[in-house]
Amino acid sequence: MAKPLTRRQFLQRIGALAALTWPALTRADTKASKASVHYRNHPLDHKMCSMCRYFLAPVGNSNGMMMRGLTPKGTMGVGHCQKVRGVIDPMGYCVLFTPRQRVPRYR
């Protein structure tokens, strides 16, 4: 029969277990699924991912915007989102949409 653990042994084992699992837990994907945020690959009114503050444009496209805010479908690659998992269509939309801050123009 196994000897019961002392309090010190128990705490040491819990500490070792936490040290082993903590990195894996902190790496866990915290982004939402597309279904949970009602993502769709077409805009709602004039709200679209390329105008959202969480949109990460594809590399090589500085801000995901073309032609004064218009983003013709098919001319841009897919991007990613800081909040939602997977590839994101610049013309998409979800309930987490948050407009980008406008940069003030100075004359």
CB 92 → ligand SF4: shortest distance, Å? 5
DSSP annotation of 47: B
**C-beta of 76: minimal distance to ligand SF4 in Å?**
13
Q: Please list every residue from 20 through 79 that binds ligand SF4, using CB under 6 A.
A: 39, 49, 52, 54-55
Question: Kind and range of the H or E element at 81?
Answer: strand 80-81
Q: Where do we find the tokens 């500085």?
A: 62
**In whole angstroms, how close is the CB of 103 to ligand SF4 at the nearest point?**
18
Q: How many CB atoms lie within 10 A of CB 100?
A: 14
Nearer to ligand SF4, 19 or 87 (CB): 87
Distance from C-alpha of 86 to C-alpha of 76, rounded to nearest angstrom = 16
5 CB contacts (<8 Å, ≥6 apart)? 13
- The count of residues interacting with ligand SF4 (CB under 6 A) is 14
Residues that bind ligand SF4 (CB under 6 A): 39, 49, 52, 54-55, 81, 83-84, 88, 92-94, 96-97
